[in-house]
Structure 1
Amino acid sequence: MSNLAATGGYARDDAEVGSRRLAVGKTTRSRNAGRVQDRLIDELIGISRGVIADGVVDENEAIFIAQWIENHREIAVKWPVNVLYVRLVEMLKDGILSEDEQQELLETLRDLTGESALYQEPNRPTTLPLDKPAPSIDFSGKTFCLTGRFVFGSKFDCEETITEMGGDVVQMPGQETDYLVIGELCSPDWIHTTFGRSIEKGVELKQLGHPIAIVSEEHWVNSLAMG
């Protein structure tokens, strides 16, 4: 009897070890996939910087970028590549890239690469994920997540202001977050920073149907005056 019990115990132990190994394997594969996606996004950013170096994006360059994304489907649905890809498909569906579309694509690529910092003051983050039109902001009983650096002041100052207005603050956006506020100051390499990860999480929540609003610091500050 004791031998059978012992055998059963070994079986359970083996099953637990197998489960742990499976979990570790899944985690490792997930991390590796994430690294591959990051490298591909970096490669796309490099390609985009080369394209916009002369301040012009022509039809052939637009087609090249669209085909490159098509050939790397693993990031075609990942923000911010998905935003760029949708716009490219829309622009190229009639076979002509108009002058207005060329200018819009140039600005979009500048946003993607951080090169828009050269044309803006202060050094603004990409505007790609912001809600348009910007929604009204309520403070009382609402949950905010702040990401990036703020002209308004330190993150502590911003959090204290929200608390005084009756709101709550969390460090990362989640299902209960009402507003993700993006600071006006960032560096051109924001996309793989904690700042960029927070924005990516906010976009994912929106895509899953959660009613999180993504707004700029400027809109948030204007709402403070109205609140």
Structure 2
Amino acid sequence: MIAGVQREFVVFDAMGVLYRHGNVVRGVLIPYLREHGCTHTEAEIREVYRRCTLGAISTGELWSALGVAATASDGDYCSRHELTQDAPEVLRGLGEAGITPLVLTNDAVPWSEQLRLRFGLTAYVETWFVSSAIGARKPDPAAYRPVLAHPGLDAARTRFVDDRPTNLMAAEAAGFRPVLFRSDDTDAHPEPGFQPPVVHTMTGLWKLLSSAGRSA
């Protein structure tokens, strides 16, 4: 790095941005559990999922708590996720443009690791901040602190891309520049009066980020 040159970053959410399903519990986890005979209610499943993504229990303990440990597995579950179209190309393009991608995700570390390896994203993201390792989930302000402490990062110069307005409000409060990436889950987490830049596709996001870079 050249002395005196400030590094540029973009922070991405994973679910609903890099991966297609924003409501991952309803869109991926519950259908997977039902296939394996789980009869727990959605509220019960969400509570166990929340504990897992906070690091309170392991993914193995999640399968046990939901009664599917005999047949469910991390690898099989992760195979049900879908990549957002053009996500790797945008991540690679940012790196080539001198902008460093980071990820802050509400997830369990084993799932996050399997997904990034499966979709070939590891090489494009400098650091993955995962809620089960942090012990805090967005929009808890504590979830953003490790990102704020990342070497060289200036939140005032950093775009934060998420599909939930509630998460982006917290990101803005932490000093980041929010960008809303619309997903299947966006409208379930409204923040009336909050109007960040909005994109609907990775192509649209690339245009916004690259134009911002040219005007900086």
TM-score normalised according to structure 2 size: 0.29
Greater relative contact order structure (CA < 8 Å, 6+ sep): 2
Greater share of residues in helix: 1
Structure that is richer in strand per residue = 2
For normalisation by structure 1, the TM-score amounts to 0.28
